[in-house]
Structure 1
Amino acid sequence: DAPSAASLNPALRGDLDAILHRAMERDPRRRYGSATELAEDLRRHLGDEPVIARPPSARDQLLKLARRHRPWVIGLSVAAIALVGGTGLATYFAIQSAQDAERARIQGRRAQAISRFQSDMFSAADPYLAEGEELTLREVLDNAAQELDGGALAEEPAVQASVRMTIGETYLHLGLLRQARRQLETTVELLEQSGDSDELVTALNLLADTSRDRDPASVAWQLEQNERALEIATRLHEPPHASIARSLSDMSITLSWDKRYDEAEEAADKAIRQYRALGPEYADQVARCLSSFGATLTECGRYDEAEETLREAVELRRRQRSENSPELAITLQNLAGLLDARGRFDEAESLYAEAIEAQRASLPPNHPDLAISLHNLASLRQKLGRAAEAVALFREAIAIREHNFGPDHADVATGLLGLAMALTSEADAGSVQTDEVAIEALAAETRALSILRKQFPGGHPFLAATLHNLAASAQKRGEVAEAEARLRESLAMMIAIWDENHPNVAHCRDTLAANLLLQGREAEAVPLLEAALRTREALLDSDHPQIGLTLAKLATARVSIGDADAAREDAERALALLKPRPGLEPDYAVCQLTMLEAIAASGDVDLDIDMQTWDEARATLADYAGEISWQLAEAQRVRALLLGANSPDAVTALAEADRILGASTAPEALTRRTAARIADTRAILGLPAR
């Protein structure tokens, strides 16, 4: 969650934050018309005069009067010049009162050095002096960094550190992580020469944020920077203090990436408490902490707490930020992810879309945060059966990630995996050339797994999820044994990472049970489904469709092992949950057939009523799967059970089941399993084998 200028340095609250936002306005009518206007507003602020970036309140004017007699330092603000005429680089000025003559002399030298550097940067950014070439913010930053590397401010290490830190922070906000790290590493080295300081704390936390890798070595490096920042902040200040709170907040995020959730919660709680104790002017920082902590709670499966936390964060963000704020966008995205996990897809989709709209308006087109939102919306639309839309979103997200991180990053792998699933769904819908799509999907899956096995040899949530999803693809291709092996590896990894009752563990158990059902191993599937059901009922809303889908599989397993009464009860509950859900009509129809099979097994058939249900289920499956599909062969098998051994139509139904299955193009595993069930039905009815 990108911090505001004020969150990084409390001195930047108020006028400077307003100046920064005005300078970065995308609408030319609302931003400064020239570098001169911006410089004049900075001069007004330094002179404690009203600025044009925002109207002064009575409180502001009193504070300005008081500040005229208080020493303070303002650092360089490259970001403030970000989009003035597409150009610009501003600098912080340092002013020290005469109370300390020696410090005033040092600060005077620093101010002169910064002023010279500022003048050079304004000249480079001035479109008249640049001979008509309008520089981009990236070019201005690159030029500034090059000047520093060439020796600018070499005699003023403290000034150079301030300049480099703001250049690095701006690179970071633009998503240019490698460039940001280089500047911030040098910043830390320069600041270390002067000992502990709040500037060093800020630089260390920013440096940690330049890594978006999730492999153990990278996370350990990030945590090392966060721990050092917290140690320095704690030495410098007594809590509550903004530097301590910021360090705790950043450490909480890194700890959650390391799956140390209890420690992450403790750090986040301390950060939030300190920011609240510092007063209402820190509401934006409270929102930042709540947003990241809410995402951690979602990952832990603590959905009720996560929703309460994230809704408070969104409310605070909406009060503090504009509708196109990237900070608000990330908080909306986190809330959308929680609602997505809870099955509230309409609200989740709306929030994802709002976040993307804000990010497109306020961030560069290749920003990593935009890729996250695109990926999440793609995943949701894939679940909703809108595969073509999902494919386009996944492709855009992957392109952004490859641009920023290179081809072998874990985030690229997760995008490839999502793309493979969406392509497969698109092919299943018949809207694209099946063979070409299958080749691309398999290549994407293979590449994703290769990347993640290299990145996380000891196991990781990304790798566990990839193994799970690749198993689903293998199962769809009929490679049942390969799918089972991957699912078991994924399940063991998930339990080791989280615990037995995590929602991801429940999902993997459900998928493994479906694999076992396909192999005719119903007795092994039942305990897996029972465990998945317990977890889902404990964590999800009572009407969540995932509960219904698990119940439907459990009913199928139980009717196959002869527990007809329990199967009927499970099927009734499943049907009540699945009926109102668009996109789940085939699942509902299959569950209807399971219910009818349980009714037939219990001898409680009402042929008129039950055949009406059968007709409805068959029509649904024909609409979705076609007239020649293994599902319709299953439907004919259930029809034979309803008709009973004494009905000649039962023989006809089983013959029709054989015919449909013979013409079906279902994977071999499905064909074998359906053929075996048809043979079992003949035996139950006392009919001769085919």
Structure 2
Amino acid sequence: MSTPRPDSGEVAQKRQVEPRALERQLRGDLDWITMRALEKDRTRRYPTPLDLAADIRRHLNHEPVLACPASVTYRVKKFVHKHRVPVAAAAAVLVALVVGLVSTTALYFEADAAKRAEAAQRQAADEQRRLAEQHRAEAEEASKQAEAARAKAETIKDFLVNDLLAVARPAGVGLGKDVTIKQALDAAAPKFDKALAQQPEVEAAVHQTVGNTYHFLGFYAEAEPHLRKALELFRRVRGAEHVDTLSAVDNLAELLRDQGNLTEAEPLLRQNREARTHRLGAQHPDTLETINLLAMLLKQKGNLAEAEQLFRQNMDTQRRTQGPEHPDTLSAVNNLAVVLWEQGKLAETESLFRQNFEVRRRVLGTEHPFTLASGNNLAFVMQQQGKLAEAEPLFRQILEVRCRILGEDHPHSLSVLNNMAFLLQAQGKLSEAETLFSRGLQARRRVLGPEHPDTLIAMHNLAGVLLEEEKLAEAEPLLRNCLEARRKTLPADHPDLAHSLVSLGLLFSQQDQPEQSEPLFREAVEVRRKALPEGHWLTAYSQSLLGACLAAQRRFPEAEPLLLAGYDSLKSHAESIPAPVRTTRLTGSLQRLIDLYTAWDKPDQAAEWRQKLEEAKP
């Protein structure tokens, strides 16, 4: 039915419509009605003509016909077609509602945007007012600080001109043009408190500067009251955790350490380490400086393991944050090398000292204090390894520069003097070594006091060369005084205490008093076992001496294991023994075994060890 027949145009013409329009009219319901009426299957045709007529009537009334599949779309179309006016009205209302909703939503968003813009403008205005107020307050604070700095500078200038520098005025008014820095400080120091009483911040800064100057010049007693006063003022004016206060703590603790007052210095540095880590961070240069000072103090106490750990931590951090040639990095390397040397690790020590000395000489110059310190350390460790010809000119050069710049009595000059005396002793120039050791001891007693650790080192060194010269009567009072002072000032397991015990024990052995030597050697063995790394050659040397002492009392079964263990350990760790004494320590332990078996009437064993002694001789 829907396919145009040949006469479709004629039919369309009679109906006064276009053929295509007629075709559209006949499609749809009429197609379905016709197809159902002609269905071959009776069950699918209209049952009666009335049913066919009813379906046609439904078509004419724009109702769904039964012949068409009952889809939702089809039924909606029929409903709309039948109720055009109501549907159109409803559609108009719906469109109006949608348009209204869109308009309302647009107006809402527009109003909300305007509201947000207004709030943003208010917030921006508030922020501008806050910033303006902050800038005004900062400007006022900067103005106050500038005024305070100006007043501070003016006060310091007046003090320098009228009190400190006035000391250099001609005689009768001052001390004359040749006045030293110390004389100027001595004359001006009593006026500090009165001149700066109304400005505690200025007073604190001046006390700290003067105290540090005294400290650098080597006048420790004069420095102490100024550094204590500076710390007291900074704590009161700035607070306990202000950076200026923490710097003042470090300055005082470093002085106390140099004075040998380790008991007071250690808690100050440990507390300051925690405070600076909390305030500044673990990698801040000030925090690292405190860690370095603490490690140096621990080394001085003989706590070498913790000192090495802190020095390595400091060196690694400095290299990472400052670079390999930064002055602080070089100081960290130098300090690590010192503690390695004290543990007998000579090869690693020399390598670090040599690198440090070469970099400092290139970067800082040959007469910079840090360059001289590195050179002194390098020369000393070379001497310890028997490189005497290479060490001597370096020692002499550094001694000349330090005495010229710092003076002969400065602690740094005396340190080089001590090392130079060691070199002469290693060369067998005992008389010259004795002269230098004696000169150093007198100066240290005068400058540092009779019980300062460096004074006791000088005393012990002089006694050592006197023992080697067999001047026992002169050596004995020095050794007794040194041991007594070290027992009083050092921890019970300090390596320096063991040095004194061994030296006094050797004196008694040379005087044929083994009963006096025995308790000293026993204590030395225990101290060195606690203080030094396992297998250290000094512990083995002490064991060998104790064994010889027992053999001298004919306690051969007790002596034998000590002598054998001492020799075995010395031989195993021979490379760590300083070169100037390496051969004598090894051959001495062999000779003590020969003496044991000879006295014990065991000639075969004595002959065996005598053969080993011949083989060990250079």
Work out whether the TM-score is over 0.5: yes
Match of 2:566 among 529, 534, 543: 529
1:205 CA displacement: 1.6
- Cα distance between partner residues in 2 of 1:214 and 1:177: 7
Q: What residue is the counterpart of 2:500 in the other structure?
A: 466
| Structure number with larger C-alpha Rg | 2
Map Cα deviations across residues 486-539 of structure 1 (whole Å, 9 max, x no partner): 212211222122244123213323333444555564634532333432452363
Q: 1:5-24 counterparts in 2 under 5 A?
A: none
More helix by share: 2
Match of 1:113 among 128, 145, 155: 155
Match of 1:309 among 342, 352, 357: 352
Map Cα deviations across residues 400-430 of structure 1 (whole Å, 9 max, x no partner): 111123223343333223223323444x5xx
Residue identity matched to 1:178: A
Q: What residue is the counterpart of 1:137 in the other structure?
A: 181
Q: Against the structure 1 CA distance between its residues 264 and 438, is the aligned structure 2 distance closer, same or farther, given a 3 Å change threshold? A: closer
Look up the SS of the partner of 1:501 in the other structure.
Answer: coil
Q: What residue is the counterpart of 2:142 in the other structure?
A: 100
Look up the SS of the partner of 1:256 in the other structure.
Answer: helix
Moved over 6 A (4+): 96-99
Q: Against the structure 1 CA distance between its residues 489 and 270, is the aligned structure 2 distance closer, same or farther, given a 3 Å change threshold? A: closer
Q: What residue is the counterpart of 1:553 in the other structure?
A: 591
Q: What residue is the counterpart of 2:166 in the other structure?
A: 123
Look up the SS of the partner of 1:472 in the other structure.
Answer: helix
Q: Against the structure 1 CA distance between its residues 373 and 155, is the aligned structure 2 distance closer, same or farther, given a 3 Å change threshold? A: same
Q: Against the structure 1 CA distance between its residues 132 and 116, is the aligned structure 2 distance closer, same or farther, given a 3 Å change threshold? A: closer
Look up the SS of the partner of 1:408 in the other structure.
Answer: coil
Unaligned runs of 5+ in 1: 1-95, 429-436, 580-690
Q: What residue is the counterpart of 1:415 in the other structure?
A: 458
Look up the SS of the partner of 1:327 in the other structure.
Answer: helix
Q: Does 1:164 align with 2:201?
A: no
Match of 2:248 among 184, 194, 203: 203
Residue identity matched to 1:112: E
- Cα distance between partner residues in 2 of 1:417 and 1:542: 20
Q: Against the structure 1 CA distance between its residues 528 and 352, is the aligned structure 2 distance closer, same or farther, given a 3 Å change threshold? A: farther
Unaligned runs of 5+ in 2: 1-137
Look up the SS of the partner of 2:195 in the other structure.
Answer: coil
- Cα distance between partner residues in 2 of 1:256 and 1:424: 28
Q: What residue is the counterpart of 2:234 in the other structure?
A: 191
Tell me the TM-score normalized by structure 2.
Answer: 0.69
- Cα distance between partner residues in 2 of 1:504 and 1:184: 39
Match of 1:266 among 303, 309, 329: 309
Kindly indicate whether the alpha-carbon contact (under 8 Å) linking 1:244 and 1:271 is maintained by their aligned counterparts in 2.
no
1:236 CA displacement: 3.1
- Cα distance between partner residues in 1 of 2:359 and 2:517: 45
Q: What residue is the counterpart of 1:574 in the other structure?
A: 616
Q: What residue is the counterpart of 1:347 in the other structure?
A: 390
Q: 1:409-558 counterparts in 2 under 5 A?
A: 409-426=452-469, 428=470, 438-456=472-490, 458-516=492-550, 521=556, 523-537=560-574, 539-540=576-577, 544-546=582-584, 548-549=586-587, 552-553=590-591, 556=594
1:274 CA displacement: 3.5
Residue identity matched to 1:266: Q
Look up the SS of the partner of 1:100 in the other structure.
Answer: helix
Q: What residue is the counterpart of 1:589 in the other structure?
A: none
Task: Name the Cα RMSD after superposition.
Answer: 3.1
Q: Against the structure 1 CA distance between its residues 212 and 400, is the aligned structure 2 distance closer, same or farther, given a 3 Å change threshold? A: farther
Q: Against the structure 1 CA distance between its residues 331 and 454, is the aligned structure 2 distance closer, same or farther, given a 3 Å change threshold? A: same
Q: Against the structure 1 CA distance between its residues 471 and 348, is the aligned structure 2 distance closer, same or farther, given a 3 Å change threshold? A: farther
- Cα distance between partner residues in 1 of 2:362 and 2:140: 40
Q: Against the structure 1 CA distance between its residues 424 and 304, is the aligned structure 2 distance closer, same or farther, given a 3 Å change threshold? A: closer
Match of 2:336 among 293, 312, 327: 293
Look up the SS of the partner of 2:326 in the other structure.
Answer: helix
1:339 CA displacement: 3.0
Q: What residue is the counterpart of 2:128 in the other structure?
A: none
1:183 CA displacement: 0.8
Tell me the TM-score normalized by structure 1.
Answer: 0.62
Kindly indicate whether the alpha-carbon contact (under 8 Å) linking 2:325 and 2:359 is maintained by their aligned counterparts in 1.
no
Q: What residue is the counterpart of 2:85 in the other structure?
A: none
Kindly indicate whether the alpha-carbon contact (under 8 Å) linking 2:211 and 2:227 is maintained by their aligned counterparts in 1.
yes
- Cα distance between partner residues in 2 of 1:501 and 1:208: 34
- Cα distance between partner residues in 2 of 1:123 and 1:547: 61
Map Cα deviations across residues 549-605 of structure 1 (whole Å, 9 max, x no partner): 256437636874423785366235402xxx2xxxxxxxxxxxxxxxxxxxxxxxxxx
Q: What residue is the counterpart of 1:650 in the other structure?
A: none
